[in-house]
Amino acid sequence: MAEEATVKIYRGDNESGEMVEYKIPLVPGMVVLDAVHTAQAMQAPDLAVRWNCKAGKCGSCSGEVNGKPKLMCMDRMDKYPDGEPITIRPMKSFRVLKDLACDVSWNYEVNKQIPAFKMQDTGGEEPKFSQEEADRVQEFRKCIECFLCQNVCHVLREHDKKEEFGGPRFFVRAAGLEMHPLDDENRLGLLKDELGLGYCNITKCCTEVCPESITITDNAIIPLKERVVDEFYDPVKKLLRIVFPK
Amino acid sequence: MDKYQTFEYDVIVVGAGGAGLRAAIEASAGGAKTALVCKSLLGKAHTVMAEGGVAAALHNVDTRDDWKVHFRDTMKGGKFLNQWRMAQLHAQEAPDRVRELEEWGAVFDRTKDGRMLQRNFGGHTYPRLAHVGDRTGLEMIRTLQDKGVHAGIDVHMECTIRSILKDGERVAGCFGYQRESGRFVVFRAKSVVLATGGIGRCWEITSNSWEYTADGHAMAMWAGADLIDMEFVQFHPTGMVWPPSVKGTLITEGVRGEGGVLLNSEGERFMFDNVPEMFQGDYAETQEEATQWVQEVIAGKQATVRRPPELLTRDVVARAIRKEVRAGRGSPHGGVFLDIASRRSAEEIKKKLPSMYHQFKELADVDITTDPMEVGPTCHYMMGGIRVDPETQQSTMPGLFAAGESAGGMHGSNRLGGNSLSDLLVFGKRAGEHAAKYASETNSIGEINADEVQRVAGESLKPFDDSDGENPYTVHEELRTVMQNLVGIVRTDEDLRSALGEFEELRERAAKVKVDGNIQFNPGWHLALDLKNMLDISEAVTRAALERTESRGGHTREDHPGSDDEWGKVNNIVRQTDSGIGVFREPLSEMPDELRQLLNSE
């Protein structure tokens, strides 16, 4: 193992900035977040970076390492070739506040639009469902809100459709609610209209970057698309709606 | 600095982990105009890292369980120093608080008949922890967060509160800064709930994140409120020890709950030789008995034999590990071995402990389904905290409430695993309810003392003026080393006194650290300000530890190795006085006979 690594970290805000080079002494097992912290402690105390758990559980330290979306706390330095500088940038799809910290507040606004869980009337009985039923939604509830899926989704990254599109994170959240065995709410209209589910053309970029290995496209988005089709485009249902308007 | 934003609420909750979120939800439900202020983004608080489960006597798995057994286990775990009324309320109300989460959409693991599954944990007589694999905290915080966003609460993210503002002897609000812009902000409020978590960043090896800088503990003490049990710090027995990058990162007690065993370098299960007198007869005495217990539990049966000694309370296990390492029977990197690979199938391990599997695979190159983990103690939890009234969670200062880790008393000298998540729910709710009630019974909001705001604002900006001071990171690292070496798991009079000397010097250096850059999102500046909290609370811990000349729970004195019955009758109260941080003894409150009998029944 080399004794020293070179990292180039973005320093600046949304308007202007530059890649600044830091030499970092390597220690065994070091992750990219450690390198950022070392730079911060030794050379750049005002370097902005978010982190909390440092164990892949909180989703705070998302960034782009050598152009790839990563949780920096789970990204080992020894995976990168010796001697070549490692570049560390903030997520591209969000406005940069400072250095590696982005403005992710839009995500919190989207979340507010999604109606909360509504428990079915169990008639006073203890709610019961099987582990198999739990497994299905627990996959979605593993999400740590790192927003890497939002960062790579082309609808947001290339087309910046934040006004019309909720993004994979919130399709996963909606799926976790819609597929909960005891939920009594319907979010399909919201998904179709306000959250723009139809914009997703299932390129699976989100699934590829998910650090929790949630099968976002296949298990969350496609089943939701099917439900939306059944609800709004089924010819029999459409006929019934014409004959029996609400 | 003249310009600061001002907000006005009935109730301000500081901290958005489980306790803060639960308090804010309840305060808002009680009709109070409520705001939640947190240092990180919403949903990233330390609760997210809780792994093993939430303790509640639901008796879904073992019908012999009830609140009385939970109460007894909690008191025994705390070596009877707990505020008995808190332990009682906690045991009685935890089941309802957990069921409520399910009504709000939480998806816990299930029993075969579709109810909430419960797992075994250290010090709990029966399987009691409702859980979601090993990511229970994430499930809890997300459930509370999603409930909270529809509860009409204003959330101020990435905002650090620096001091409590007073009007005479009562609360008038609090003062802080927005982390992103660096702008100062004043929150006026009739009541303030501190739910700021712990103090682990004072130690070198810790499972705690950057947020755990003793903010609530320090602000309450500065404002004149009492702290209690400050000598009791929990070192979790199983932190990662290798590689250096992850030293201190938590390994859930759930590994042992699922059958994992602790081994020294000679392959011995040393916990059999480390059962304290108080727990004699409660734990398996042979490997066969321990194995039978695991098999029965895995099969979903009620255990007919005693549990393995690996499931002793955390204070006991942490000390035993330290002893093995000191005796030269440690693992290559200075820990011991925790083995689940030889006990459960690879498939079961991945299903029940997915994030442990992932964490070791990615960060330590260890496959826990085939190889043992190396583990050692890591500073994890603060039993001590703001002294509160058990029913209302009000501190000794009118209008100031506390809940969760920042409050003290519930856990006595040692906390049982799983009792923290339930503590957050039970006392978060109570704090929110009573903070709202206090606000509704208070006619006028307290006046803000502009001079005081001016003073704190000026003090906050001072590090930008000190051009010849040193780097705040250096001072912080030195404080952590002092606490690790002199105020760690095992303490002596001599070490504690030299720690006090070190604080004097560090305080002088902290007062003139230098900060580069400007006020916008500047971690160096933020740390420079946090140093004061950490230094004062490190001193509070050290003074309380110096005073207690016995060993009990999370406080072990090498020079006073046994427990002392006289010390078993008093709590240490820490209070800011004119002459500095003082420690005062106070007798435990009298426990009613019916509860006392519960402690004696076996």
Mean pLDDT confidence for B407-428? 98
Question: Which class in CATH covers the domain with range B5-232+383-440?
Answer: alpha beta
- Condensed to tens digits (0 to 9), the pLDDT of residues B455-485 reads 999 999 999 997 788 999 999 999 999 999 9
> What is the per-residue pLDDT for B602?
57
- Residue B419 tokens, joined: 């009792």
- A101 and B135: CB-CB below 8 Å? no
Instruction: Please list every residue in chain A whose beta carbon sits closer than 8 Å to the beta carbon of residue B350.
Output: none
Region of residue B31 (left: phi > 0; alpha: psi -120 to 50; beta: else): left
- Condensed to tens digits (0 to 9), the pLDDT of residues B350-372 reads 999 998 999 999 999 999 999 99
CATH number given to B236-377: 3.90.700.10
Instruction: Please answer whether residues A182 and A119 qualify as being in contact, where contact means their C-beta atoms are separated by less than 8 angstroms.
Output: yes
Top pLDDT among A172 and A237 is at A172
- B407/B228 Cα distance (integer angstroms): 9
Taking a contact as any Cβ pair under 8 Å apart, which residues of chain A between 205 and 234 contact chain B? none
Instruction: Please list every residue in chain B whose beta carbon sits closer than 8 Å to the beta carbon of residue A131.
Output: 109-110, 117
Q: How many residues does chain A have?
A: 246
Mean pLDDT confidence for A126-132? 95
> What is the per-residue pLDDT for B3?
75
Give the residue on B whose Cα is nearest the Cα of A61.
Answer: B44
Instruction: Please answer whether residues A8 and A86 qualify as being in contact, where contact means their C-beta atoms are separated by less than 8 angstroms.
Output: yes
* E-assigned strand segments in B301-458: 336-339, 373-382, 385-386, 400-402
> What is the per-residue pLDDT for A246?
61
> What is the per-residue pLDDT for A112?
97
Give B33's DSSP letter.
-
> What is the per-residue pLDDT for A243?
83
Query: Which of A26, A36, A58 would best serve as a mutation to test chain B binding (most B beta carbons within 10 A)?
Result: A58
Residue B2 three-state SS: coil
* B59–chain A nearest CA distance, Å: 13
Q: Which ranges in B399-444 belong to alpha helices (H)?
A: 419-440
- Residue A157 tokens, joined: 């990254």
- A46 and B515: CB-CB below 8 Å? yes
Instruction: Please list every residue in chain B whose beta carbon sits closer than 8 Å to the beta carbon of residue A105.
Output: 157
Is it the case that residue A2 has pLDDT exceeding 90?
no
- B572/B584 Cα distance (integer angstroms): 6
β-pairing, B5-14 vs B34-37, is parallel
Give the residue on A whose Cα is nearest the Cα of B517.
Answer: A46
Instruction: Please list every residue in chain A whose beta carbon sits closer than 8 Å to the beta carbon of residue B49.
Output: 52-53, 55, 57-58
Please list, residue by residue across B486-498, b when 16 or more beta carbons sit within 10 angstroms of its beta carbon and e when fewer do: bbbbbbbeebbee
Give A200's DSSP letter.
-
Mean pLDDT confidence for B490-515? 96
> What is the per-residue pLDDT for B417?
95
| Chain B CB within 8 Å of residue A104 CB | yes
| Chain B CB within 8 Å of residue A188 CB | no
- A98 and B149: CB-CB below 8 Å? no
Which residue in A104, A114, A136, A116 sits closest to A214, CA to CA?
A136
- Residue B449 tokens, joined: 């003392």
Is it the case that residue A53 has pLDDT exceeding 70?
yes
Instruction: Please list every residue in chain A whose beta carbon sits closer than 8 Å to the beta carbon of residue B521.
Output: 48, 97-99, 101
B8, amino acid identity: E
- B209 and A144: CB-CB below 8 Å? no
CB burial of residue A94 (10 Å; 0-12, 13-18, 19+): buried
CB burial of residue B370 (10 Å; 0-12, 13-18, 19+): exposed
> What is the per-residue pLDDT for B458?
95
* B299–chain A nearest CA distance, Å: 16
- Residue A163 tokens, joined: 């006004």
Which residue in B176, B189, B163 sits closest to B7, CA to CA?
B189
Is it the case that residue B291 has pLDDT exceeding 50?
yes
Which residue in A104, A75, A91 sits closest to A170, CA to CA?
A104
- B361/B370 Cα distance (integer angstroms): 11
- B523 and A98: CB-CB below 8 Å? no
Percentage above 90 pLDDT, chain B: 95
* E-assigned strand segments in B297-445: 336-339, 373-382, 385-386, 400-402
What is the band of B2 on the pLDDT scale with cuts at 50, 70, 90?
Answer: low
* B356–chain A nearest CA distance, Å: 10
Give the residue on B whose Cα is nearest the Cα of A45.
Answer: B524
- B363 and A55: CB-CB below 8 Å? yes
| Chain B CB within 8 Å of residue A138 CB | yes
CA dihedral A135, A137, A142, A147 (to 10 degrees): 150
- B590/A201 Cα distance (integer angstroms): 67
Top pLDDT among A76 and B300 is at A76
- A55 and B133: CB-CB below 8 Å? no
How many CA atoms does the CB half-sphere of B414 hold within 13 Å? 27
| Chain B CB within 8 Å of residue A117 CB | yes
Which residue in B534, B549, B535 sits closest to B585, CA to CA?
B549
- Condensed to tens digits (0 to 9), the pLDDT of residues B521-549 reads 999 999 999 999 999 999 999 999 999 99
CB pairs under 8 A between A and B: 167
Give the residue on A whose Cα is nearest the Cα of B180.
Answer: A97
Give the residue on A whose Cα is nearest the Cα of B142.
Answer: A141
- Residue A115 tokens, joined: 């109606």
What sign has the CA pseudo-torsion B199, B431, B81, B89? Answer: negative
Count other C-beta atoms under 10 Å from residue A219's C-beta: 17
> What is the per-residue pLDDT for B1?
44
What is the band of B300 on the pLDDT scale with cuts at 50, 70, 90?
Answer: confident
Taking a contact as any Cβ pair under 8 Å apart, which residues of chain A between 9 and 48 contact chain B? 27-31, 34, 40-42, 44-48
Q: Which residues are B377's β-sheet partners?
A: none
- Condensed to tens digits (0 to 9), the pLDDT of residues B429-462 reads 999 999 999 999 999 999 999 999 999 999 999 9
Is it the case that residue B125 has pLDDT exceeding 80?
yes
- B149 and A137: CB-CB below 8 Å? no
* B14–chain A nearest CA distance, Å: 17
* A29–chain B nearest CA distance, Å: 5
Location of structure tokens 């403005």: A103
CA distances from B594 to B73, B92, B126 (A): 16, 15, 22
Which residue in B320, B309, B206 sits closest to B264, CA to CA?
B320
* B511–chain A nearest CA distance, Å: 17
Location of structure tokens 């799926």: A175
Residues whose CB falls within 8 Å of the CB of residue B529, separated by 6 or more in sequence, listed in order: B160, B162, B460, B463
The domain ranges of chain B are: 5-232+383-440, 236-377, 450-578
- B110 and A145: CB-CB below 8 Å? no
- Condensed to tens digits (0 to 9), the pLDDT of residues B200-221 reads 999 999 999 999 999 999 999 9
Domains (range + CATH), chain A: 4-102 (3.10.20.30), 105-237 (1.10.1060.10)
- B450/B456 Cα distance (integer angstroms): 10
CA dihedral B494, B497, B502, B507 (to 10 degrees): 170
> Given 3-state DSSP classes, what are the helix, strand and coil percentages for chain B, each rounded to the nearest 5?
40, 20, 40
> Given 3-state DSSP classes, what are the helix, strand and coil percentages for chain A, each rounded to the nearest 5?
40, 15, 45
Percentage above 90 pLDDT, chain A: 92
Which of A59, A119, A128 is closest, CB to CB, to B115?
A128
Instruction: Please list every residue in chain B whose beta carbon sits closer than 8 Å to the beta carbon of residue A25.
Output: none
Which of A46, A47, A57 is closest, CB to CB, to B138?
A57
- B129/B70 Cα distance (integer angstroms): 11
Instruction: Please list every residue in chain B whose beta carbon sits closer than 8 Å to the beta carbon of residue A183.
Output: 105
Q: What are phi and psi of B77, to 5 degrees?
A: -60, -35
Catalytically annotated residues of B: 236, 256
* A177–chain B nearest CA distance, Å: 8
Count other C-beta atoms under 10 Å from residue B31's C-beta: 12
Which residue in B40, B55, B43, B39 sits closest to B18, CA to CA?
B43
Q: Which residues are B366's β-sheet partners?
A: none
CATH number given to B450-578: 1.20.58.100
Q: How far is CA B258 from the centre of its chain?
A: 23
Please list, residue by residue across A180-210, b when 16 or more beta carbons sit within 10 angstroms of its beta carbon and e when fewer do: bbbbeeebbebbbebbbbebbeeeebbbebb
| Chain B CB within 8 Å of residue A97 CB | yes
* DSSP per-residue letters across B41-93: -TT-SGGGG--S-EE----SS-TT--HHHHHHHHHHHTTT-S-HHHHHHHHHH
Which residue in B340, B342, B421 sits closest to B94, CA to CA?
B421
Query: Which of B21, B25, B41 would best serve as a mutation to test chain A binding (most A beta carbons within 10 A)?
Result: B41
- B210 and A145: CB-CB below 8 Å? no
Which of A29, A59, A111 is closest, CB to CB, to B363?
A29
Residue B168 three-state SS: coil
CA distances from A210 to A57, A153, A207, B246 (A): 12, 12, 5, 22
- Residue A140 tokens, joined: 């979605």
Give the residue on B whose Cα is nearest the Cα of A121.
Answer: B103
* DSSP per-residue letters across B266-280: T---GGGG---GGGT
- A27 and B243: CB-CB below 8 Å? yes
How many CA atoms does the CB half-sphere of B130 hold within 13 Å? 26
Mean pLDDT confidence for A183-197? 97
Which of B49, B150, B472 is closest, CB to CB, to A45?
B472
CA distances from B442 to A233, B316, B446 (A): 56, 46, 9
What is the band of A237 on the pLDDT scale with cuts at 50, 70, 90?
Answer: confident
